[in-house]
Chain A
Amino acid sequence: MTTNNLGLYIHIPFCRKKCKYCDFLSFPCTSEQVYREYVTALCMEMDSRREDCESYVIDSVFIGGGTPSLISPEDIRRLMDTVRKDFHLAEDAEITIETNPASITQAKLDAYLASGINRISIGIQSFDNHILRRLGRLHDKNEAFQKIQMVRKSGFTNINIDLMFGIPEQPMKTWLDTIRQGIFLGPQHISLYSLQLEKGTPLYKEVYEDKLFAPTPEILDREMYHEAIRLLRQAGYVHYEISNTAFPGKESKHNLKYWSYDEYLGLGPGASSFFGGQRFKNHEKMNRYIDAIKKHQVPMDQRSIERYSEKEEMGIYVFTGLRKAEGISLDDFRQRFERDLFSVYDPAILRRYKGLLKLSENQLYLTDAGMDVSNTVMAEFV
């Protein structure tokens, strides 16, 4: 490892209600007591990782979910205190919490700031009430505006909003309005996600089984993406990763770790880690996770441990790196793996994906058009 920095991901797997498109690991739960007990478990997990992390400096923390903003101010404080107690937290660490506008309160925002959280990510998704209802979100457009204002006034200077496009029967105009309003509100970071209809979600059923809505044609989805990127660039945002834009210098450190072959440790059920050269996940089932914690064991799911060959790790390095607009550095690749990238992969790939994959000044990267079909290109490297 060239760095001993570590990102910490803390999973809060609760939601008041699951959104209709969501297939992430979260359960509907509103019990304060459950939250409290769960945070206690997380703290114990951190305690159990204390020694393993001795030699690391935590330079990013991401409290994600689920809906972390459901957690009480005290519990958030407790969580952050434990982070500081168990790990070496860098002075300038990026510490993010994911929030749902519906559960943001002034008291929580104050607690976040007080406990050192310096970045907030708000799941806005859309400024259109029809679309918000279709997605099964808890907030409406007005609340979205209010809460963004509230966050700003509280003193956060690093705000992200998540926006979503390609929603069934979402017109281009509605999407561009959402983008324009997002830009107008001026968050430092805007994520834009093309909705993936995942099997087993209610929205998938509504579209593909009940046929209530037509899925967004691929062409429209791509126009939405490129048009949004164009508007965001005009407004000064840098498109630094497939689904992320930010003002220069405000790129998410934590997000970039995933795509830069950096280490991260995931806490909570189902959380993924790349730690000590190993890739693994925690138990996904809450009871198994809790059981392990109670027995003071690491709640790692042994079956999830992946031992990849060097060639596979090279593949991971390349396909994750290609998500970033800057792509990957051939020099960095050589340093890490002691091989030239094009001695491992056929240089003919460049010809085959002309216009999609580019090599310039020792950086290999996807063009805007290449990002549309990134999987096609990435599949060449796995």
Chain B
Amino acid sequence: MKDYQNYIRNFSIIAHIDHGKSTLADRIIERTGLVSKRDMREQFLDNMDLERERGITIKLQTTRLVYQAKDGNEYIFNLIDTPGHVDFTYEVSRSLAACEGAVLVVDATQGVEAQTLANVYLAMDEDLEIMPVLNKIDLPSARPDEVKQEIEDVIGVEAMDAPLVSAKEGTGIDELLEEIVHKIPAPEGDENGKLKALIFDSYYDNYKGVVIYARIFDGKIKKGDMIRLMNTGKKYEVTEVGTYSPGPVECAQLRAGEVGYVCASIKQVADARVGDTITLAEHPADQPLPGYKRVQSMVYCGIYPAEGEKYENVKDALEKLQVNDAAFHFEPETSTALGYGFRCGFLGLLHMEIIVERLEREFDLAVITTSPSVIYRVVMNDGSVQMVQNPTNLPDPILIDHIEEPMVKADIMVPKEYVGSIMEICQERRGTLLNMEYITETRVNLHYEMPLNEVIYDFFDALKSKTRGYGSLDYEFSRYQPSKVVKLDILLNKDLVDAFSMIVHESKAYTRGRFVCSKLKEILPMHQFEVPIQACIGQKIIARETVRAYRKDVIAKCYGGDISRKKKLLEKQKEGKKRMRQFGTVEVPQEAFTAVLKYDDNK
């Protein structure tokens, strides 16, 4: 091991949402003197507003910190943050691969959660040193001893000496920093070997192009090097290397064991895929680093400009988002109901929601999203296979031999009093219980196999609602399985609105049909004529509702010349109308498209 490597610690913080990861990271950054407390925005690492609001980290940010340890030496801490949601498992695993250790934050009041476990397993897969920390120790409901025991029982790592911290109040942070020095191994690697650097994140910068975050495993990289990305095979010239502390600071080179950024005039993040290996074009490494996977979208939906919104604007925004998000992709499509729009692929439902919200907030665009869909494997009578993700493209049933749907393995962790209701909602969603284990006396891990189609619909909402927020979910794709799925269409005033079409399991078609009809009845405004709402499979109508006609929409009195009041009233009405989409003669409010997907507690 080289001398400089002795003073480097590369680590991640892993935690369940809400367990205080970001706050803890803030405290560490503050304590190492990088940012003064006064100048610090809360939760430094979460730098997108949306993340702040949801309290979850989506996009990684890596920071180089300098810690003055009690042994008198200065240590470089490379804090590599990881996203905190099931949709981003692959990104998490690549970030972890860049580290030697992981600080596992467990909420001392809540204990271990499914997602914590999932991330711990990922860390273990990368052979990381796991260093547990108990957070929220200041809360009266904290039960550190029990939770330590739980960590030992469930995760199987030594936890009795785990630092007790309160990230909120800043207690225990010094002990934690010392522990990092002692427990987390220093990096290894040959700085004179052939370059092997792992891309674990990237983002697009308007001036520099794609900025790659990389961990150097062997060799070194500097400005002017010709590099090759081993999986995509593309070559670039390095224009800058440096570290983030927290702003970019250019440096002469990055050596084995170090973490930093690399710029090489790369046009979009999709060209510098997470998990790819950087090597030198002249003296390439023999093998890329293991673990690279191509991004696979799991969930698709249509995104259309809302009434009055320009197609081009939406397209520009999607392109901008794509430049920065290798996991998101889109292509143009048309819908008879919604006109020109885009079919978009996402890692999961959260990823989809994030993209849609960013379109609305950052780009101020009004868009309509259609029912999310998974990819069905349609086996035709002639034996050929079609992958279908847009319900509209489902071939004529006569030509289909059978359809297969994607299944996932889902780990659901809940306090035991909720097991009954969880089994019920899993049952309703065609889940098969594979295994059930008691993690502790009060907490259960349920292993289910479930159709992804059911998971993306409203499962997460239902889970949260049935467990008062205590349940957690983690899932991953397992296999394709033949399934009796049918296409459910919705007709408004006898016209098919393709944007509402969805593929559902035969056994669910009636309930879903009825649900969508009654939901639309609630949401559709009254028109000057009756509007029948019908749900059908093929020609067969399976559910029906009617929105009655309105007859009156007039203000009789004149408010003594208060025109402004009347104007405001009309504006409000118009505002409501603007959010409507005209389908033939029927006006549909935008929210109808998402409302029909939402979990309804009272149904």
Contact = CB atoms under 8 A, between A and B. Distances in A.
Interface stretch (B142-150, B387-395, B567-575): B567-575
A70 to B, nearest CB: 17
Interface in A212-230: 218-219, 221-222
Interface stretch (B259-267, B358-366, B550-558): B550-558
Interface string A338-354: 00000000000000000
Contact of B556 (A11, A243, A255, A272): A243
A196 B573 contact: no
A281 to B, nearest CB: 7
A375 B563 contact: no
A39 to B, nearest CB: 18
A273 B561 CA distance: 7
A127 interface: no
Given A319-B566, A319-B570, A382-B570, A375 B555 contact: yes
Given A266-B560, A266-B561, A306-B564, A374 B551 contact: no
Contacts of B528: 373, 376
A255 B561 CA distance: 9
Contacts of A279: 563-564
A326 interface: no
Contacts of B3: none
Given A315-B567, A319-B566, A382-B574, A375 B553 contact: yes
Nearest to B526: A218
Contact of A194 (B556, B558, B561): B556
Given A271-B560, A316-B563, A320-B563, A380 B574 contact: yes
Interface in A172-195: 193-195
Interface string A271-290: 11110000101000000000
B18 to A, nearest CB: 39
**Interface extent on A, as a size class?**
35 or more
A212 B573 CA distance: 30
A193 B556 contact: yes
A221 B560 contact: no
A372 interface: yes
Which of A218, A266, A312, A382 has its CB near the most chain B CB atoms (within 10 A)? A382
A345 B561 CA distance: 25
B567 A64 contact: no
A379 B573 CA distance: 6
B552 A378 contact: no
Contacts of B562: 272, 281
Which of B528, B552, B554, B569 has its CB near the most chain A CB atoms (within 10 A)? B554
Which of B553, B563, B569, B574 has its CB near the most chain A CB atoms (within 10 A)? B563
A272 B563 contact: yes
Nearest to B555: A375
A222 B555 contact: no
Contact of B553 (A24, A372, A382): A372
A65 B362 CA distance: 49
A271 B562 CA distance: 8
A372 B551 contact: yes
B577 interface: yes
A4 interface: no
B130 to A, nearest CB: 59
Contacts of A247: none
Given A221-B551, A221-B552, A222-B552, A382 B558 contact: no
Given A242-B554, A373-B528, A24 B560 contact: yes
A63 to B, nearest CB: 12
Nearest to A219: B551
A139 B430 CA distance: 69
B563 A382 contact: no
Nearest to B558: A258
Contacts of A112: none
A378 B569 CA distance: 10
Contacts of B567: 312, 315-316, 319, 382
A9 interface: yes
Nearest to A319: B570
| Main DSSP-derived SS at the A contact region | mixed
A320 B556 CA distance: 12
Nearest to A24: B560
Nearest to A279: B564
Contacts of B571: 379, 382
A376 B550 CA distance: 11
Contacts of B573: 375-376, 379
Interface string B559-601: 1111110110111011001000000000000000000000000
A264 interface: yes
A304 interface: yes
B570 A194 contact: no
Which of B551, B561, B567 has its CB near the most chain A CB atoms (within 10 A)? B561
Contacts of B556: 193-196, 242-243
Interface in B77-132: none
A371 interface: yes
Contacts of B570: 319, 375, 378-379, 382
B41 to A, nearest CB: 34
A266 B558 CA distance: 14
Nearest to B571: A382
B22 to A, nearest CB: 42
B215 to A, nearest CB: 57
B572 to A, nearest CB: 9
Interface string B530-563: 0000000000000000000011111111111111
Interface string A303-315: 0101000001001
A381 to B, nearest CB: 8
Given A315-B567, A379-B573, A382-B574, A274 B561 contact: yes
Contacts of A222: 551-552
A188 B571 CA distance: 35
Contacts of B577: 379
B332 to A, nearest CB: 27
B552 A372 contact: yes
A371 B555 CA distance: 10
A328 to B, nearest CB: 15
B573 to A, nearest CB: 4
A304 B565 CA distance: 10
A375 B554 contact: yes
A373 B574 contact: no
Nearest to B565: A272
Nearest to A223: B551
B560 A373 contact: no
B563 A274 contact: yes
Given A315-B567, A319-B570, A378-B570, A372 B554 contact: yes
Contacts of A9: 560-561
A312 B567 CA distance: 9
A323 B556 CA distance: 10
Contacts of A255: 558
A219 B551 CA distance: 6
A30 to B, nearest CB: 23
A266 B564 CA distance: 14
B551 A194 contact: no
Contact of B557 (A243, A257, A266, A378): A243
Contacts of A379: 570-571, 573-574, 577
Contacts of A374: 553-555
A225 B574 CA distance: 25
Contacts of A242: 554, 556
Contacts of A316: 563, 567
Contacts of A11: 560
Interface of A: 9, 11, 24, 64, 193-196, 218-219, 221-222, 242-243, 255, 257-258, 264, 266, 271-274, 279, 281, 304, 306, 312, 315-316, 319-320, 323, 371-376, 378-380, 382
Given A24-B560, A64-B560, 12 more contacts: A193-B556, A194-B556, A274-B561, A304-B564, A320-B563, A372-B554, A375-B569, A375-B570, A376-B553, A376-B573, A379-B577, A382-B574
9 contacts: A11-B560, A222-B551, A264-B561, A281-B562, A319-B570, A372-B554, A375-B570, A376-B528, A376-B553
